[in-house]
Amino acid sequence: MSSCRIALFAVSVILLSAPVFALGSTTASGSIAACAGCHADASDRLSHSVHGRPDKRAGDHPTCISCHGKNPHSSTLPARLESTRMCSSCHRNADRMRRYGVSSKAVSSYEQSFHGRMLLRFGKKRAAGCVDCHSKHSIFVPNNSSSSVGREHAVRTCAGCHRGAGQLFAASGTSHPRLKIDRTPLLRLEEEFFKLLTYATVVLLMLVIGLDLRRKVFCAQHSPNSGRVVGMLVALGFSSLTAGLVMAILRVAGAEWAWLSAAGSFAAAFAVYATGRERRIHKPDGSKLYHRFTFAQRAQHVCLALSFTVLVLTGMPLHYADIGWSHYLHLLFGGLDGARTAHRIAAVLMTITWIWHFLFLLYRWRIYGFSSSTWTMLPTRKDLWDFSRTIAYGLGLRSTPPEYDRFQFRQKFDYLAVYWGMPIMVFSGAVLWFEVFFGNRLPSIALDAAYIAHSDEAILAMLAIMIWHLYNTHLDPDHFPMSRAWLSGVLTESEMAREHPAEKARIDAKRD
């Protein structure tokens, strides 16, 4: 009995391995034939697929053994990650793809897609790999009616994992965003718009800060409140921080070192500051206090700061998924899943704060008898003048800074930037959160448009905060290490005289 079994086993092993031994010397189509006898179905599918076409150069198209190896029966079937790597190894080869007029960006665009990041960068095995969408053997050009990703079958393909997916969702182009963007002028325009806005904003902000530092640190007439040494260290740290940001955006290696150097400079500045020898700021000057922020306003600011920080810490590692160390930020939230939950909670908190603030503004407007003077954050002609005078002062063309009112143009810019960014982030974020719901109802470019808006606006907001807000409220050598108005709600007389002289004069006139 058992010898009979052994004999059967030996025969089957020989039978199974015979075609494989024969493969070594066969041509590509020959190797399909070698398997066809027993795997008629797979062979039939492969020969009728796009991969069954004739080679222009030997080995261009995959055969059974390109994907299953020389010993298909002794190895396990390729899992999602392996098969995705397998498809990618050919499809990222630009020369090979060019011979057949196929875009080699299919791979890089997949890698940038949500699925690609999840599977390849974050090891989420549930996310779709190439085979899940294109099928394993019956692969066709997408506009072929047999293609699993073409018009006829895409809905079923996506719906296998995304319950309720419809035609528009399936045609959203989110599987290969770059391919879709390159072929859709409107999306390219959106991308260019954000790029231009980001570069213009960053250059402008850096210019104003550079001039401010020049006046405060390097001009003999002005001695910064935190002392000249602190000022120098802050200037050094700010330059490194900016260099690091620019390097990160341009994806030049070494941004981490620039940031380390910035952190070192700020730490050194703080150490010098803490010795207290040079500091004058925050020492009670025994004088009047000027009330600036109510408790409600301070609470709104805390909610905004908290939600913003969490959103950046959890969102940026997704955007920069290819930068390995960025994943460690997720550890703060217990990994990717925790980070995604935190991102959504913070998003809700930010949206509530946005609405809360808007109602607060309306309420204030009402209790002051609908007076337009309650809208203190709206830009005025004076802000334009103040801006040009500030530049002139920074360049040394004027001897005094302008007489700022209740809010400087700096603060208005900060505030209005949030109000420009908020609707963009809230709406694009909602679309990405409920991707099937919105994907089915909005035009087919909506999901990619939301991805571009959400990540590009996030980068712009992060830069504005890290450059402008960080400088004006923390690193400015007159405020270092921070202005305390956000906690106490009050400014001292000397702070008011320096930052808001016009308002101070008005208040003093009323008090007297």
CA 113, CA 108: separation in Å to the nearest integer?
9
Q: Which of 7, 13, 14, 15 binds ligand HEC (CB under 6 A)?
A: 15
User: DSSP state, 490?
Assistant: E
Torsion angle of alpha carbons 245, 251, 254, 257, nearest 10°? Answer: 20
Segment near ligand HEC (CB under 6 A), from 88-96, 218-226, 486-494, 500-508? Answer: 88-96
Q: Does 42 bind ligand HEC (CB under 6 A)?
A: yes
Q: Which of 180, 357, 500, 504 binds ligand HEC (CB under 6 A)?
A: 180
| Sequence-ordered list of residues with C-beta below 8 angstroms from that of 69, at least 6 positions apart, any chain | 75
E-only strand ranges, 354-401: none
Contact (Cβ atoms closer than 8 angstroms) between residue 481 and residue 231: no
Segment near ligand HEC (CB under 6 A), from 94-102, 187-195, 316-324, 393-401? Answer: 94-102
Q: Does 128 bind ligand HEC (CB under 6 A)?
A: yes
Q: Which of 26, 28, 48, 102 binds ligand HEC (CB under 6 A)?
A: 102
Q: Which of 138, 157, 225, 411 binds ligand HEC (CB under 6 A)?
A: 157
Give the nearest distance from C-beta 349 to ligand HEC in angstroms: 19
Give the nearest distance from C-beta 97 to ligand HEC in angstroms: 7
Q: Does 330 bind ligand HEC (CB under 6 A)?
A: no
Give the nearest distance from C-beta 170 to ligand HEC in angstroms: 5
CA 317, CA 281: separation in Å to the nearest integer?
37
Q: Does 103 bind ligand HEC (CB under 6 A)?
A: yes
Q: Does 160 bind ligand HEC (CB under 6 A)?
A: yes
Q: Which of 117, 122, 130, 316 binds ligand HEC (CB under 6 A)?
A: 130
Q: Which of 26, 29, 146, 162 binds ligand HEC (CB under 6 A)?
A: 162
For ligand HEC, give the closer residue by CB, 170 or 205.
170
- Could you tell me how many residues of this chain bind ligand HEC (CB under 6 A)? 81
From 339, 341, 268, 311, select the one nearest 425 (Cα to Cα): 311
CA 158, CA 182: separation in Å to the nearest integer?
22
For ligand HEC, give the closer residue by CB, 127 or 460.
127
Before 62, cis peptide (omega within 30)? no
For ligand HEC, give the closer residue by CB, 145 or 399.
145
Q: Which of 7, 8, 10, 38 binds ligand HEC (CB under 6 A)?
A: 38
Cα Rg of the chain (Å, integer)? 31
Give the nearest distance from C-beta 401 to ligand HEC in angstroms: 46
Segment near ligand HEC (CB under 6 A), from 57-65, 229-237, 380-388, 486-494? Answer: 57-65
Segment near ligand HEC (CB under 6 A), from 176-184, 212-220, 368-376, 465-473? Answer: 176-184
Q: Does 126 bind ligand HEC (CB under 6 A)?
A: yes
Q: How far apart are the first and last CA of the chain?
A: 114
Contact (Cβ atoms closer than 8 angstroms) between residue 168 and residue 441: yes
Q: Does 446 bind ligand HEC (CB under 6 A)?
A: no
Q: Which of 50, 206, 236, 350 binds ligand HEC (CB under 6 A)?
A: 50
Segment near ligand HEC (CB under 6 A), from 32-40, 184-192, 282-290, 318-326? Answer: 32-40
Q: Does 22 bind ligand HEC (CB under 6 A)?
A: no
Residues forming beta bridges with residue 291, ordered by sequence position: 490
User: DSSP state, 55?
Assistant: P
From 201, 114, 205, select the one nearest 447 (Cα to Cα): 114
For ligand HEC, give the closer residue by CB, 138 or 390.
138
Give the nearest distance from C-beta 185 to ligand HEC in angstroms: 16
CA 456, CA 508: separation in Å to the nearest integer?
45
Give the nearest distance from C-beta 99 to ligand HEC in angstroms: 7
CA 106, CA 108: separation in Å to the nearest integer?
6
For ligand HEC, give the closer residue by CB, 66 or 351.
66
Amino acid at 444: S
Segment near ligand HEC (CB under 6 A), from 43-51, 270-278, 390-398, 499-507? Answer: 43-51
CA 264, CA 275: separation in Å to the nearest integer?
17
CA 388, CA 443: separation in Å to the nearest integer?
44
* Sign of the C-alpha dihedral computed for residues 62, 66, 72 and 76 taken in this order: negative
Residues forming beta bridges with residue 289, ordered by sequence position: 492
For ligand HEC, give the closer residue by CB, 114 or 320.
114
Return the residues of window 398-437 that contact ligand HEC according to CB under 6 A. Answer: 432, 435
Give buried/exposed letters for 156-176 (b at 16+ CB in 10 A, else e): ebbeeebeebeebbbbbbbbb
Contact (Cβ atoms closer than 8 angstroms) between residue 109 and residue 124: no
| Sequence-ordered list of residues with C-beta below 8 angstroms from that of 89, at least 6 positions apart, any chain | none
